[in-house]
Amino acid sequence: MTSTVPFFLSRIIGAKVYDPGRNFVGIVKDLLLSSELSTNPETLEKPVVHGISLQMGKQINNFSFDYFEVSKKNRKLLVQCNKLEELPEATKESSIPLAGLVLDKQIVDLNGRKVVRVNDVRLATINNITYAIAVDVGIEGLLRRIGISQPVKFMFSLIKSDVPSKFISWDDMEPIDYSNLSIKLTSTYSKLNTLHPSDLADIIEDLDNRSRQSVFLALDEEMAADVLEEMETKAQLKIIEGMSVEKMADVLEKMPANEAADILDELEDEKAELLLNEMEAESSSEVRELLEYESNEVGSIMTTEILAYQEETTVDEVFRDMRENQPEVESMFGFFVINGNNELIATFSFRDLAVSDPSAPISSFMNDDPIFLYDEQKIDDVAELVSKYNLLAIPVVNKSNQLEGMVVIHDVIEDLVNKRRTNKK
């Protein structure tokens, strides 16, 4: 038969601990979670409480939680210590201190895609093993902390209502502030990498400056680039201010050149030049070329990551090239045909590829009368073309008809939205 004792962190913090002979041992200061999850199927991979911090006189000592028992009697929480076994230093350093790391701290609600504050933590002892089950981010948790939850709940019951409460399962949350740990946990922010970059950008923007930098720096360069691209300009600049030139350059290299150029264009010339010099030569050169355009010219919003082929290239060869290089989705909004001088001569679509014979050359289905824009053309002309011809992307050429890049529809919309915001101000 399964034995379960549920309790809250706020109830055990400050509790007096006694041994079996009712001799006073100490006062609970914190519970320590293992950074490894339990594999017990009954607990859905919840973290295990493996340590306890006790105030013993003027000292705080850390012990294994294996010899502690938590029980309830007359609605009062009792903590008994059957043996004191010091927690190994290595185990302590890799532990998550619940009160220190989670209580009153910001966490990410992964389902709600937002930042919330933890008011309490729900735990449960199941068959002599204690697990962290959920965090309480509701008003009830706050009332419980200050010891008035029961009276307030009674008052609410008189009007046939409940005190607002909200629990987030431990599986669906991610602590943010790891700064008080002496080493980084290997799983730090691992759950955040499962979020869409747009959601993660919104979350990071809501964090305080220190947490914002901590979370962003923990992302791999690919994810960091995707997230930075989705952030508001003001937040982007704050991120850059807190990063080393070397790290920031690595992230910018992973971004589309036009997005990197937009960010650098907002920086002081000296800072932008430092970053450009630190970036790889090829990436830096692409960004520099885009920065030469005026902000109202098509070239300033075009992307240079395009798919262009010679007219004799076969369908199979195009697919093989995409498999090898794995282009971004937006790069496949338009396919272009060029000659030996890199001049634009035609376009074709992904649908053309999908319905054609693998051995067929793209010359057999390409459109040799393409709609295009000049790189120095005004951005105001783009929306009209996109609307008139129902295009997802438009190729951009220079005065010599050489292909420079393309403008995709979301960049057009983004530019129009930004203009409206500016006009309103």
3-state secondary structure 372-420: CEECCCECHHHHHHHHHHCCCEEEEECCCCEEEEEEEHHHHHHHHHHHH
Separation between Cα atoms, residue 211 and residue 226, nearest integer Å: 19
Structure tokens at 198: 């747009």
In the chain, the domains with their CATH numbers are: 4-172 (no CATH), 189-292 (1.25.60.10), 307-424 (3.10.580.10)
pLDDT value at residue 181: 47
Contact between 138 and 166 under an 8 Å Cβ cutoff? The reply is yes
Query: 386 near 416, Cβ under 8 Å?
Result: no
* Total-model pTM: 0.63
- Residue in this structure with the two tokens 């680039």, named with its chain if needed: 225
The dihedrals phi and psi of 355, each to the nearest 5 degrees, come to -100, 0
Question: What CA–CA distance (Å, rounded) separates 317 from 243?
Answer: 41
Parallel, antiparallel or unpaired: strands 307-309 and 335-338: parallel
Q: pLDDT averaged over the chain?
A: 85
CB 172 within 8 A of CB 111: yes
pLDDT, tens digit (0-9, with 9 covering 90-100), for 154-198: 666 666 667 667 888 888 887 776 554 443 444 456 677 778 888
- pLDDT recorded at residue 356: 94
Q: Provide the pLDDT for residue 397.
A: 96
**In sequence order, what are the beta bridge partners of 124?**
6, 131
pLDDT at 418 over 60: no
* 130-152 pLDDT, tens digit each: 999 899 888 877 777 777 666 76
Residues 2-48 have pLDDT tens digits of 568 899 999 999 999 999 999 999 999 999 988 665 555 554 568 89
Query: What pLDDT shows up at residue 329?
Result: 84
pLDDT at 330: 84
Closest alpha carbon to 336 in 353, 349, 324: 349
Over 80: is that where the pLDDT of 55 sits? yes
Average pLDDT rounded to a whole number, residues 232-252: 90
Dihedral, CA of residue 237, residue 242, residue 246 and residue 247, to nearest 10: -90
Q: Which position has the token pair 């799983």? A: 187
362 φ/ψ angles, rounded to the nearest 5 degrees: -70, -15
Report pLDDT digits (tens) over 357-397. Answer: 999 999 999 999 999 999 999 988 887 787 788 888 899 99
Is the pLDDT assigned to residue 61 strictly greater than 90?
Answer: yes
pLDDT at 386: 77
| Core vs surface per residue 265-298: b (16+ CB within 10 A) or e | eebeeebbeebbebbeeebbebbbbbbebeeebb
In sequence order, what are the residues at sequence separation of 6 or more whose Cβ sits closer than 8 angstroms to the Cβ of residue 260? 252, 253, 283, 287
